[in-house]
Structure 1
Amino acid sequence: MTIKNRDTTDIIGGLFLTGLGLFFALYAQRYNMGTLNRMGPGYFPVVLGVIMALLGLLIAIPAFLKAGIGPKISWKTMFIVIGSVVLFGLTLQSLGLMLASMITVVVASLADHDTTWRTRAFMAAGVAPIIYLIFIFGLGMTIPVWPWSY
């Protein structure tokens, strides 16, 4: 079985997760690990990085043994989604969390051509309050919620 006949999507994804997990586990060792009873700031990222690396291997190793097709990259979709995240970062301070997140959801949904504008509006209206709850209440971040809330 050649590499062309293997499940390259899972191989690439699994190896990416493994590399990312190893990066976080190695980078977080700069911080104090502490002990299991008194965890330091590096303990949690190291453990999560190791777990991520192991899960990545659990995805990649079986993919070498099964047939599959190669990944098909939709460059337009990728640029729309990445552009929406950049747009969020550029508009957060000026428009506030709620409007910036609504615009981001609408722009990111442009990557799916089957989504109607009505669905995009409902998604934006539904995601914005969830983002508000996560960032403001859950994480306690002090960022402007609306353009006029400075």
Structure 2
Amino acid sequence: MSNRDLRDILGGLVMIAAGVFAAVYAQRYDIGTLQRMGPGFFPVMLGIALAILGVFITVPALFRPGTRIVVHWNSLIWVTAGIVMFAALLNLLGLVLTSALMIILTSMPGVDMNWKSRIILAIVVSVITYLIFSYGLGMVIPVWPWSY
């Protein structure tokens, strides 16, 4: 198994598991018929399609060589810390500042980027995030620390 394409095998198995879970869980809703589809029809069919695509990825990967998987622990820790920080500070600092802090934090490892570029990236991503969630989706999220 060490010379197999482990990356595609694991990815395909995750897709199969997610597809089976979605198809089984969505059966709690009325599936209906092809002429009169219920709310569970689309999630069940999407789950089945995802599982089938996972099989199409996994089976060929069993018969081809692959490369070794390298986990970049430093990046994993910084990105996880950024996500946890975002969740912890969103209500306290608001969407714009929390997004900017998360971008700065997650761009720390392994990226050859100066502070000016990080700050510009943080501003651009914060503005895009604000536009998407506040205007595009109309979500009610505190934008600034003082906007409650």
Same fold (TM over 0.5): yes
Alignment size in residue pairs:
148
Q: Distance in 2 between matches of 1:36 and 1:124?
A: 47
Taking structure 1 as reference, are residues 14 and 131 closer, same or farther at Cα in structure 2, changes over 3 Å only? same
Aligned to 1:51: 49
Aligned to 1:24: 22
Taking structure 1 as reference, are residues 40 and 141 closer, same or farther at Cα in structure 2, changes over 3 Å only? farther
- Stretches of structure 2 lacking an aligned partner (at least 5 in a row): none
CA distances 1:35-82 after superposition (whole Å, capped 9, x unpaired): 556554433333332232222222222211211123111222112111
Taking structure 1 as reference, are residues 113 and 45 closer, same or farther at Cα in structure 2, changes over 3 Å only? same
Aligned to 1:138: 136
Q: 1:101 aligns with which of 89, 99, 102?
A: 99
Query: 1:1-150 residue pairs with structure 2 within 5 A?
Result: 3-35=1-33, 39-150=37-148
What code does the residue aligned with 1:30 have?
R
CA distances 1:90-115 after superposition (whole Å, capped 9, x unpaired): 11101111111111111111133323
Q: Distance in 2 between matches of 1:55 and 1:81?
A: 28
Taking structure 1 as reference, are residues 126 and 20 closer, same or farther at Cα in structure 2, changes over 3 Å only? same
Q: Distance in 2 between matches of 1:139 and 1:58?
A: 35
Taking structure 1 as reference, are residues 143 and 38 closer, same or farther at Cα in structure 2, changes over 3 Å only? farther
3-state SS of 1:5 partner: coil
| Range 16-25 or range 80-89, more displaced | 16-25
- Stretches of structure 1 lacking an aligned partner (at least 5 in a row): none
Q: Any conservation in 2 of the 1:4–1:69 contact (CA below 8 Å)?
A: no
What code does the residue aligned with 2:109 have?
A
Q: Any conservation in 2 of the 1:106–1:121 contact (CA below 8 Å)?
A: yes
Runs (4+) of structure 1 moved beyond 6 Å?
none
CA distances 1:3-58 after superposition (whole Å, capped 9, x unpaired): 11111111111111221222122212222334556554433333332232222222
Q: Distance in 2 between matches of 1:139 and 1:106?
A: 25
